[in-house]
Amino acid sequence: MAHKGLYGSAIKQFTRVLLRDPGNRLAREEVARLSLALKNGAERPSDGSAAISESERGEIVGLAYRALKKTSPDTIERMLAEAREYEKKQQNTLATRSYLKALGMEGLELENKHEIERRLRRASQFVDGKIEALPESTRGLFREAFTLMSVGDWENSVEIWQNFAAQTPEDREIQELLALPEAQAAIKQKHWVFQARFHVQRGEMDEAEVFFRKVMDNDPTSREAQVGIEKVAAMRAARRKDEVASGHITDAERYMKKGLQFKAIDSLLEALKEDPGNKPALDLLAEIQKSETTLSASVPRRERSFSSPARADIIPVDMQSPAESSVIKNPAKAETHYQRGLVYYGLRNYREALSEWKMAVDYDPTFQKAVRALERVKTDLRQEM
């Protein structure tokens, strides 16, 4: 394969040799040589390996193992050597962490896994002995933190380790544990989450998202960050809706001051489209409905009932039905009257709703929502009678 230029396939085969014979020098040299050729885009690999340092060779071999979802024997041995050093210093909590990290590596051979598990059990027994020797006031803290660390929950365990360290500053092992990369990453992440929440409370959505994104970059599985980003998006959308609705309400208030009630209602309807539960908009609509001058400031007062229909000669053209004003089909106006009818119906003013929906159907007889609404309000009025 190597002679044919199939370097990737050749590397996989040599790496499989290393899985069975980690010390095989020929396989290690070929993996390093071919990997370097791939990296440099060379047509032919170098004849020798003198140009490759030991550290580079180890790194290249490690990459080859990871390509096969395996962990190289060198990496495993480094982790076990680190754990043994901790055990010599009677720092069994740190040794346990190293063994747990080794067990989390990809593609461990069964014999390696059994050996690591055996050492882990022994280190854990020493940790249990340490816990029993602690004062009762700190025993529970240590055990809870150790349990959380053992299941991989560094974020919560670090907070408890910090509390424990504050109460027992003489325990140098826990100080070292808090300086580990996993602990530092968890501490940094907790700080980012705190900052994100702080900015959310202040309504600073952009700043909050920056910190939630940092958490996600550090831990893509962070549920807290995912929920935070969703919350920020929802708050932004709500803010935009509120701003748009507030603008329509301001317009409605201006129209009301000028006595332009119809225009005020239209603006309030637009506000309710953005925010159906907007209380200021609903309150203003109720105020308009209760007012004695409702719909009379810009048009002459008229009766709206089944027995006494409005007279065409006193109704503005834009408020007459097409039959009365000879206006052709107009879906836009039909929608406007339909929306007005919804407001009146919601306020239980069925006669006004009936009038609006009649005009909606006149402007667009194919407008099925208006047709159904008209039938419904007729039924309601019959029941009232």
Instruction: Give the whole-angstrom CA distance, residue 301 versus residue 291.
Output: 13
Residue 268: inside a domain? no
pLDDT of residue 93: 94
pLDDT of residue 338: 85
Is the pLDDT score of 189 beyond 90? Answer: no
Residue 31: inside a domain? yes
Which of 79-83, 109-113, 263-267, 282-286 is predicted most confidently? Answer: 79-83
pLDDT of residue 45: 57
Residue 254: inside a domain? no
Residue 194: inside a domain? no
pLDDT of residue 323: 43
pLDDT of residue 66: 62
pLDDT of residue 291: 65
Q: Stretch 179-203: mean pLDDT, rounded?
A: 89
Domain final residue pick, 15, 42, 70: 70
Residue 332: inside a domain? yes
Instruction: Give the whole-angstrom CA distance, residue 343 versus residue 346.
Output: 5
pLDDT of residue 289: 66
Residue 23: inside a domain? yes
Instruction: Give the whole-angstrom CA distance, residue 362 versus residue 370.
Output: 10
Domain final residue pick, 70, 90, 124: 70
Question: Could you tell me which of 365, 355, 360, 372 has the C-alpha nearest to residue 332?
Answer: 360
pLDDT of residue 172: 92
pLDDT of residue 61: 61
Full-model pTM = 0.49
348: domain CATH number? 1.25.40.10
Residue 216: inside a domain? no
Total domains, the chain: 2
Which one has a higher pLDDT value, 57 or 248? Answer: 248
Helices 261-274/223-257 angle, 10° precision: 180
Whether residue 182 contacts residue 104, with contact meaning beta carbons closer than 8 Å, is answered with no
Confidence of residue 307 (pLDDT cuts 50, 70, 90): very low
Q: What range does the domain containing 365 cover?
A: 319-384
Region of poorest pLDDT, from 56-70, 72-86, 265-279? 56-70
Cβ neighbours for 64, distance < 8 A, ≥ 6 positions apart: 11, 12, 14, 15, 18, 31, 35, 72
pLDDT of residue 87: 93
